[in-house]
Amino acid sequence: MTPTAPQPAALARKKLPIGIQTFREIREDDCYYVDKTGMAVDLVQTGKAYFLSRPRRFGKSLFLDTLKELFEGNRALFTGLAAEPLWDWGTQHPVIRISFGAGVIASRHGLDQVLHQQLSHHETRWALPAAFPDARSRFLDLIERLHAHTGQRVVVLVDEYDKPILDNIDHRAVALEVREGLKDLYSVIKDSDAHIRFAFLTGVSKFSKVSLFSGLNNLTDITLDERYSALCGYTDADVDTVFAPELPGLDRQQIRDWYNGYNWLGTSVYNPFDVLLLFRSREFRPYWFETGTPTFLVKLLAERQFFTPDLARLQSSMALLSAFDVDCIEPEALLFQAGYLTVLERTQPIPGQWVYTLGYPNREVEASLNAALLGGLGAPERTSFEVRLRLIDLLKAGNLPGLKALFEAFFASIPHQWYARNPIDQYEGFYASVFYSYFAALGLDIRLEDSTNKGRIDMAVLFAAQVFVFEFKVVEANSNGSALQQIKDKGYADKYRALNQPIHLVGVEFSKASRNIVGFGAETLAIL
């Protein structure tokens, strides 16, 4: 275990801004604050209209509120921050902020109600009564009249721009109606260009410009811009400096392993929600994941028979990462945009062709997502939980016969209906996916040596000062021991001998006919 880094005892602790999305409250209540104001000023000085996609609970709402306070000229809130000497405090701009973050919008009528309520708020504030009955015309008219009324161009901030669609992603007809309503609304931003000083839209997903932004082609997408990778979230340096008073008593490396790793081609960041709740409770838990079970995602991956070991290292193009719409939902795009996968690296094999390698950002996501995916693989939640508890004990004890019995019992318990609705040629990937997801759901150190979409996987698990090397095969009926022999022939264990730990070789063979384990060859190598 990495020792806890010593911290100065004299550092004063501040209030943890858990759930606070208001810049003013954070500053006036002496909360911890990670200064993003320098990047905010840079965005304003170098462009006019931006779009940013980030997963939920990453601080998007707080950043928009920070922009609002900047443009409204509330200098006192920025004392000592990066923006203070850089901003023109003598000019104030009217700000229209629209948010879809609260509640669930279940219909086009519900969308219209929310829009009218928020537009009424701004009209009342500026004493500019509505002159039109529909939301689009009201929005357009409000921008023009605010410009005329104040003499300054308007700032438009839209928070969770896509949430009304995502709220209805399981109901295609409603989602399409809501999408058209939003498309109509957002076209106003382009039509009002002469009256707008700055515009910023944030959300979780990145809908195609054709479907949602066909009338708004002047947005600069900074989702994958290395300069703004840390625009939302906390960096390692932020945790070590801003939150230094909270670190004593916690394993610093464990904080990294559990919560760091989200990356958009630049500096990696932590999800703020995780870090703040860790500092409050002093316990490592999947705080972010628990706030939103990915039911739709699990269902989609199960329907597509997605090979779960691929999630640890998945290659994609920019087209696939951006392929998200009501009529076209690619698993890669959904996993990436929702925050379950992040960018590990980007390469360019030939000019103009970028390849993005995706993987889990951290241990929290890897363990929690695989635990959720087991349900889509036919494992009832209660059974899955019990198997995981037993698996930990067996691994600690190096009990290989017990491991065989555990998985035989598990596969025998899978409902017949799962096999009935999945083609037999998918079984191989299914067996490997189940094995992998059980180990991954424990948050263990897993090394994938070789995986393909056909289901062949070599997996090493490092746990309790032991190494377990697995090879999986699907056979017609009878075991011939080839899985264990392949581990030996290919020398899979060699790279782990330097650890000077017991190495267990496990070859597992499944039968399509019996739908269970028919071969379980195991051997433990002596420590040299």
Strands 196-203 and 220-221: unpaired
Q: List C-alpha distances in Å: 345 to 35, 265, 348.
A: 27, 7, 10
Q: Is the dihedral of CA 355, 359, 362, 365 positive or negative?
A: positive
Q: What pLDDT was estimated at residue 479?
A: 64
Which of helix, strand or coil describes residue 458? strand
Which of helix, strand or coil describes residue 464? coil
Paired tokens of 229: 């990778």
Contact 301, 372 (CB under 8 A): no
Q: What pLDDT was estimated at residue 297?
A: 87
Which of helix, strand or coil describes residue 53? strand
CA–CA distance, 379 with 35 (Å, rounded to integer) = 45
Q: Which of 390, 388, 364, 356 is nearest to 374 (CA)?
A: 388
Q: What pLDDT was estimated at residue 241?
A: 97
Position 247 in a domain = no
- Domain endpoint, select from 185, 212, 228: 228
Q: Which of 468, 480, 488 is nearest to 510 (CA)?
A: 480
- Domain endpoint, select from 210, 228, 246: 228
**Strands ordered across the beta sheet of 445-451:** 445-451, 457-463, 466-475, 503-511, 516-525
Which of helix, strand or coil describes residue 504? strand
- Domain endpoint, select from 194, 228, 262: 228
Q: List C-alpha distances in Å: 212 to 83, 109, 170, 186.
A: 33, 18, 18, 8
Position 385 in a domain = no
Q: What pLDDT was estimated at residue 285?
A: 96
3-state secondary structure 170-208: CCHHHHHHHHHHHHHHHHHHHHCHHHEEEEEEEECCCCC
Q: Write b or e for each residue in 459-491: b if 16 or more Cβ atoms lie within 10 A of its Cβ, otherwise e.
A: bbbebeebbbbbbbbbbeeebeebbbebbeeee
**CB-count burial class (<10 Å; 0-12, 13-18, 19+) for 44:** buried
- The full length of the chain comes to 528
Residues 6+ apart with CB under 8 A from 223: 51, 52, 53, 54, 206, 264
Q: What pLDDT was estimated at residue 115?
A: 95
Paired tokens of 321: 């990462």
Position 40 in a domain = yes
Q: The CATH number of the domain where 59 resides is what?
A: 3.40.50
Position 366 in a domain = no
Q: What pLDDT was estimated at residue 7?
A: 47
Q: Which of 327, 38, 36 is nearest to 180 (CA)?
A: 327
Sole residue written with tokens 């180990």? 439
Q: Is the dihedral of CA 494, 495, 501, 507 positive or negative?
A: negative
CA–CA distance, 184 with 112 (Å, rounded to integer) = 11
Q: Which of 469, 446, 454 is nearest to 525 (CA)?
A: 469
Q: The CATH number of the domain where 520 resides is what?
A: 3.40.1350
Q: What pLDDT was estimated at residue 454?
A: 41
Backbone angles phi, psi at 57, to 5 degrees: 55, 40
CA–CA distance, 249 with 252 (Å, rounded to integer) = 9
Position 350 in a domain = no
Residues 6+ apart with CB under 8 A from 432: 307, 309, 451, 455, 456, 457, 472
Paired tokens of 306: 């997605």
Across the chain, which has 528 residues, the per-10-residue mean pLDDT values are: 48 92 97 98 96 94 98 98 97 97 91 95 94 94 97 97 91 92 91 95 80 70 95 98 97 97 97 98 96 83 84 87 80 91 93 92 95 84 87 95 89 63 61 87 83 57 94 75 85 89 92 80 85
CA–CA distance, 86 with 77 (Å, rounded to integer) = 14
Q: How many domains does the chain have?
A: 2
Domain range spanning residue 197? Answer: 35-228
Position 309 in a domain = no
Which of helix, strand or coil describes residue 31? strand
Q: List C-alpha distances in Å: 167 to 180, 212, 372, 435, 458.
A: 15, 16, 20, 33, 39
**CB-count burial class (<10 Å; 0-12, 13-18, 19+) for 57:** buried
Position 453 in a domain = yes
Position 517 in a domain = yes
DSSP sequence for 64-115: HHHHHHHHTT-GGGGTTSTTTTTS-TT----EEEEE--SS---SHHHHHHHH
